[in-house]
Amino acid sequence: MKEGVQVKEGLRVKEPLRVKEQLHVKELLRRNAVPALFLCMCVLGVLISGQNIRYIAQELISRLARNWFLVLSLIIPVTAGLGLNFAIVLGAMAGQVGLIVATHCKLPGLVGLITAVVLSIPIAILLGISAGHVLNKARGREMITSMMLGFFANGLYLLVFLFMVGTVFPIDNPEIVLDTGVGLRGTIELKYCKYALDNLLRIKVLGINIPVGSFAVVIALCFGMRWLYKTKLGQELRAVGQDMGVASVAGINVDRTRVIAMVLSTVLAAIGQVIFLQNMGTINTFNSHQQIGTVAIASLLVGGASVTSATVGQGLIGTLLFQLLFIVSPAAGQRLMGNAQIGEFFRVFIGYGIIAVALLIHSWGRKSSLESASRQAMMKEEAKTTGSM
Amino acid sequence: MDDNWVLQVKDVSKAYGDNPVLNKVNLSLKRGEIHALVGENGAGKSTLMNILFGMPVIHETGGFTGEVWLKGRKSEIKSPKDAMDAGIGMVHQEFMLLPGFSVAENVKLNREPTKPNWFSKVAGPKFETINLHKMGYDTRQALDRIEIGVDEWLPLMGMPVGHRQFIEIAREIDKTDLSLIVLDEPTAVLTETESSRLLSALNKLAGSGIGVLFISHRLDEVFEIADTITVLRDGEVICTVPKHEARVENIAEMMVGRKISNSKATQPGRTTGNGNILEIRNLSVDMPGEYVNGVDLNVRKGEILGIGGLAGHGKLGIANGLMGLCHSAGTVMCDSQEIPLNDSRAALDAGLVFLSEDRRGVGLLLDESIEDNIALASVVSRNKFVKKVGPLPISVEDGKSIREHAREMISLLDIKCTGPQQSVRRLSGGNQQKVCVAKAITMEPEVLLVSEPTRGIDVGAKERVLSVIKRLNAEKGITVVMTSSELAELRSMCDRIAIMYNGKIHGILSPDAPDAEFGFCMAGGGGVPGD
């Protein structure tokens, strides 16, 4: 098998192929325009806010520890051509169910956390399978459908935890149930497994607390994802993401592959939500899951991802920039306008704005087929590099 | 049953709704035989291929009647996977390749060699790691078998169409138990050199015992390599003859079912206007593979100017450069007004309209309807088909007039379709080209740039497209600049033919110049100085 490399030097075609591109600084900037723009905004924000760097760093570290995993759970559906998975809300609900049960059973620390994860996984798998099947029926409109699925599932979630707890499920636990005995409390304190993962191993560097446990899980996920894309399944996910027609002619079961992508994403989101909440220390029973969809998606997009392509690196960097903006914008707003709320508005505007822009670009791009677009981009780049004759 | 038959199609019929497309088709193919299937657009060739390959479109529309036998046994092909398992390889007319994957990944798609790992032993073979090394090695072998030297790890994106065709074939021959390979119009997008390389590769494949079913419009190719020729017309087999008994004229006649009139050259002494409508000075175009390097050319008002030359010498670059699709430099005057280069809108505003050689990529919006394809460009750049909304200063598309116009065009060009709302993707190559022509006509061009107008379309559509272009020129006085690899076509259409060599105009010949002179000029010898 060693000849593999040597045979590369076969016959050469008449015109040498010119797809191997050179990366100039300009080109790099053009490709990473979005993260670059946000980096500038972050730097400005940090300067204007005048906050203590150590404070910012500490905030950032803990926000990264709780958000990275969730953001990374979005990547698989993007590579499988399902677009931005707003339905990770479903996974988050599954994670919360696990945590609520663990809290109810008063399971302490890591045991509680692991129980929560173990409980949430089958729920997430079920939700993922059903979401996958629905999205297979709604080809080409996956994103809006997944968003609607999130709202729909939220209705069920409310029904179960606001009405059925205490009536259908006899749960008598004043720590989590409302005084009336029916429905969960709006906020549930995670007394028993708060910081379970973060405290697994904490080190202090320059006075900054670093939750090594949580970061280790994220790193494991990164390597796991990298490995996934080296397997047969990963190859199928990528093939389906590029062109369902071609993949199906090659004999790949497209529907099944898409369902698998949704299941993986939902399960990862469930775990991500458990990690997120153990760091927060309280569950906002009826709100926590709702926000994560848009925040995670905005983070991924800030990293330079698009509806059709996303990498782990983009997820990591995007979260970093987005959360940094989160931290500094209220203070920056206070300094600039004398009102912290202005900074807050700005941040929300950015968060939703970037999603809107990504969706717009996507729907424009769909008009021209992928191939011709890429070919023309190629030609244009070619023209730019060889340019002036 | 004789084991020598690789494929036997017995009494296969198929209808889409009430519309019969195949009627009791019989076809047999021996081991190592090259069997050519010829027929016009809509003769049912593609449907037959879809049946052989178990494409979902067949089973979603009620299946077919009749039997397909493979290697002497009756077989049920319900899906592409079944077909592949049965040893059928298919090279599709539309490339079934993933642009974001490398050559090797495409060749090995869903057949990746894998290595088990600890996780896959628990979780199943889907989690086996891909053996990149073996993947590259196998791909290299397949590519070498058809003698193409492209690097197996290059991404497919941006590769010339010719290469893609070879990669499709490499993918098929890489399948170990391949016994039959079906090629749907494989040379439609290839240049002449590439075609001849492909044909010799096919000969080799047949020599190794694989049956080859070859669908083509180009009769010269068919006669070059086929052992047997089957003519399909309106869903029926008209005849099956061994090559040595067949004659080109007979076959062509059977294909269209009517006598073909040899298209005559333009009448000599035809008067074209005197002034130049286009004056091109020192034009350079950076089109990969078709570089133009300092072209000076005058186009006279009302003429049909041909641009010919061998592949890679820049003939395609001129039109793409004029239209701003490829980066270009130089000066171009249209009616003594300079047109800014690299600005498609300016070119359109100056009255230039382009019928691209890449009709699927540049020419058409494949998922839009016929009527929208015809009208959209005119709505945008010519302000046609719009109406005012009451007194408001906004205007909207006028659906009714678009529909009417599309109907007119469909009957004028004889576009075979279910109606103006059908999506263009489902049309055959010839009919897609007709839609492109309709779109160009609708734009009311001053100068029509036509590139490879008959590439990959059948005899009937070819004649129709060319005659419409000729009529536009004669009746409306539209100047035509036509680029084509087929010299015969240029000679039948043009008043003058410019031959490109090495990115420059090497000479401008009259259409009745002897063959030898054209050949000499294309090869870069002698040449007649341009005007």
Fold of B304-313+345-522: Rossmann fold (3.40.50)
Does the pLDDT of residue A359 top 80, yes or no? no
Same fold, B10-218+232-256 and B304-313+345-522: yes
Q: In this complex, do B98 and A242 lie within 8 Å of one another by their Cβ atoms?
A: yes
Q: In this complex, do B80 and A238 lie within 8 Å of one another by their Cβ atoms?
A: no
Mutation for A interface: B327, B331, B362, B365, most A CBs within 10 A: B327
Mutation for B interface: A13, A78, A223, most B CBs within 10 A: A13
CB A17 within 8 A of CB B151: yes
DSSP per-residue string spanning B271-301? ---SSEEEEEEEEEEE-TTS-EEEEEEEEET
What's the rounded Cα separation, in Å, for the pair A249 and B95?
Answer: 11
% of chain A residues with pLDDT over 70: 86
Q: What does residue B23 show for φ and ψ, rounded to 5 degrees?
A: -130, 105
Closest CA of chain A from B94, distance in Å: 10
Locate the DSSP E strands across chain A.
187-189, 202-205, 208-211, 282-284
Q: In this complex, do B329 and A246 lie within 8 Å of one another by their Cβ atoms?
A: no
More confident residue, B308 or A376: B308
Q: In this complex, do B144 and A7 lie within 8 Å of one another by their Cβ atoms?
A: yes
- Here the ipTM equals 0.72
Closest CA of chain B from A122, distance in Å: 16
What's the rounded Cα separation, in Å, for the pair A106 and A193?
Answer: 9
Q: What is the pLDDT of residue A92?
A: 92
Please write the tens of the pLDDT for every residue from A290-300: 888 888 988 88
- B-chain CB neighbours of A13 within 8 Å are 148-150, 163
Q: In this complex, do B110 and A251 lie within 8 Å of one another by their Cβ atoms?
A: yes
Q: What is the pLDDT of residue A388?
A: 34
- B-chain CB neighbours of A78 within 8 Å are none
Decide which of 2.40.10.10, 3.20.80.10, 3.40.50.300, 3.40.30.10 is the CATH code for B10-218+232-256. Answer: 3.40.50.300
% of chain B residues with pLDDT over 70: 92
Q: In sequence order, what are the beta bridge partners of B482?
A: B306, B450
Mutation for A interface: B106, B110, B117, most A CBs within 10 A: B110
Chain B: residue whose CA lies nearest to A10: B149
What's the rounded Cα separation, in Å, for the pair A369 and A243?
Answer: 11
- From the list B146, B153, B247, the residue with the least C-alpha distance to B195 is B146
CB atoms inside a 10 Å sphere around CB A356: 9
Q: In this complex, do B149 and A249 lie within 8 Å of one another by their Cβ atoms?
A: no
Ordered by start, the domain boundaries in chain B are: 10-218+232-256, 304-313+345-522
Size of chain B in residues: 531
CB atoms inside a 10 Å sphere around CB B261: 7
Average pLDDT over residues B215-235: 82
- A-chain CB neighbours of B166 within 8 Å are none
Q: Could you tell me the pLDDT band of residue A363, with boundaries at 50, 70 and 90?
A: low
What's the rounded Cα separation, in Å, for the pair B212 and B206?
Answer: 6
- Kindly list the distances between the CA atom of residue A117 and the CA atoms of A219, A267, B393, in Å, as whole numbers in the listed order: 18, 9, 60
Chain A: residue whose CA lies nearest to B101: A239
Which of A12, A246, A374 has its CB closest to that of B97?
A246
Q: Which residue has the tokens 């793409």?
A: B320
Please write the tens of the pLDDT for every residue from A185-215: 888 888 888 877 877 777 887 778 888 888 9
Q: In this complex, do A15 and B289 lie within 8 Å of one another by their Cβ atoms?
A: yes
Closest CA of chain A from B212, distance in Å: 20
What's the rounded Cα separation, in Å, for the pair B368 and B438?
Answer: 15
What's the rounded Cα separation, in Å, for the pair A197 and A280?
Answer: 12
Q: What is the pLDDT of residue A95?
A: 92
State chain A's mean pLDDT as an integer. Answer: 80
- B-chain CB neighbours of A230 within 8 Å are 129-130
Which of B148, B149, B288 has its CB closest to that of A379?
B288
Closest CA of chain B from A61, distance in Å: 32
Coil, strand or helix: which one is B116?
Answer: coil
Q: In this complex, do A4 and B136 lie within 8 Å of one another by their Cβ atoms?
A: yes
Q: In this complex, do A13 and B149 lie within 8 Å of one another by their Cβ atoms?
A: yes
Q: What does residue B7 show for φ and ψ, rounded to 5 degrees?
A: -140, 130
Q: In this complex, do B329 and A388 lie within 8 Å of one another by their Cβ atoms?
A: yes
Coil, strand or helix: which one is B324?
Answer: coil
CB atoms inside a 10 Å sphere around CB A22: 7
Please write the tens of the pLDDT for every residue from B42-63: 678 878 888 888 887 787 777 8
What's the rounded Cα separation, in Å, for the pair B448 and B354?
Answer: 6
Q: What is the pLDDT of residue A130?
A: 92
Q: In this complex, do B134 and A4 lie within 8 Å of one another by their Cβ atoms?
A: yes
Locate the DSSP E strands across B31-121.
34-38, 65-70, 73-75, 88-91, 114-115
- A-chain CB neighbours of B134 within 8 Å are 1, 4
% of chain B residues with pLDDT over 90: 2
State chain B's mean pLDDT as an integer. Answer: 81
Average pLDDT over residues A113-122: 92
Q: Could you tell me the pLDDT band of residue B27, with boundaries at 50, 70 and 90?
A: confident
- From the list A274, A283, A290, A312, the residue with the least C-alpha distance to A123 is A274
What's the 3-state SS for B436-491?
HHHHHHHCCCCEEEEECCCCCCCHHHHHHHHHHHHHHHHHHCCEEEEECCCHHHHH
Q: What does residue A231 show for φ and ψ, rounded to 5 degrees?
A: -95, 170
CB pairs under 8 A between A and B: 155
- B-chain CB neighbours of A19 within 8 Å are 154-155, 157-159
Whether pTM > 0.95 for this model: the answer is no
- The domains located in chain A, with CATH, are 36-362 (1.10.3470)
Closest CA of chain B from A375, distance in Å: 5
CB atoms inside a 10 Å sphere around CB A347: 21
Please write the tens of the pLDDT for every residue from B345-385: 888 888 889 988 877 777 788 888 888 888 888 887 777 78
Q: In this complex, do B151 and A374 lie within 8 Å of one another by their Cβ atoms?
A: no
What's the rounded Cα separation, in Å, for the pair B187 and B210?
Answer: 19
Does the pLDDT of residue A382 top 50, yes or no? no
- B-chain CB neighbours of A17 within 8 Å are 150-151, 154, 159, 163
